[in-house]
Amino acid sequence: MTATNDLITVDQLQALMASTPVRVVDCRFNLMDTGQGRREYQEGHIPGATYAHLDDDLASPITADSGRHPLPDIDDFVQTLGSWGIDNDIQVVAYDHSNGAVAARLWWMLRWLGHDKVAVLDGGFAAWTSAGGALETEVADDAPAIFIAAPDPDMIVTTAEISAAVAAGETFNLVDARDAARFKGENEPIDTVAGHVPGAINLPFPGGVREDGTWLDVEHHRRRWDELLVGRPEKPLMAMCGSGVTACHLVISARLSGRPAPRLYVGSWSEWIRDKERPVARAD
């Protein structure tokens, strides 16, 4: 595996762990039971892994204007990374239950802060256990490290930018990772308003993985994006979802397809609907 790979297989991770320092981060999380992931980590995790809680570690508290998972304060997150033993040179591997829906958030955040040596475990914890990978219950006690952040603001697109484009009637490539029913406004199990940002297009993130959570091949991702963007303007891609988490999955998918990484709309749908004056589109 090279430092720029976005995905790593179980075999590759095991070989890496046997040959060089690596920090493994367990990102298992359940939106409906926010303590489940930590309990599962305590019951058994990949040896040496530390635990990252989506709400506590990979996001900051919700505000009146934010989405459900705003980015944490950079200085605070740098301290968290240091407590996990992550510096600017060590290889990081993130995993969740299987499909990378949450692990991709940590992958994106590290890249946003200038750390490219990070990959998502293909198939996650399920793939590790299916392959007979060892487990441990000890909580990781990593030696503190120093991480120096170099955030890239160009990786982010804001509500203000999207609002301006919508108001101007511009055509843009804002890709929403939520399932089709939520995007169309047929149902909304999480947020208070159903529908989508006017002008956005839909590419549900589970379409990039198999039933077992392992990622489909590069050609599949290339074909998906090609079909989605037929007739669309040659404009940069932007990715969104409900709260800026599974949208990171689309960023990896686009990179696998050979396209430039989309900018991430961190606030996503849950931030867009904070202002009742912002327009909402629904399927006819």
Measured CA to CA, the distance from residue 18 to residue 209 in angstroms comes to 28
Contacts (Cβ under 8 Å, ≥6 apart) of 203: 175, 176, 177, 224, 225, 228, 250, 253
Give the residue numbers marked as catalytic.
241
- Give residue for tokens 């998918």: 253
Bridge partners of residue 79, in order along the sequence: none
Bridge partners of residue 240, in order along the sequence: 176
Tell me, rounded to whole angstroms, the distance of Cα 149 from its chain centroid. 19
HEC readout, the chain: CCCCCCEECHHHHHHHHHHCCEEEEECCCCCCCCCHHHHHHHHCECCCCEECCCCCCCCCCCCCCCCCCCCCCHHHHHHHHHHCCCCCCCEEEEECCCCCCCHHHHHHHHHHCCCCCEEEECCHHHHHHHCCCCCECCCCCCCCCCCCCCCCHHHEECHHHHHHHHHCCCCCEEEECCCHHHHHCCCCCCCCCCCECCCCEECCHHHHECCCCCECCHHHHHHHHHHHCCCCCCCCEEEECCCCCCHHHHHHHHHHCCCCCCEEECCHHHHHCCCCCCCCECCC
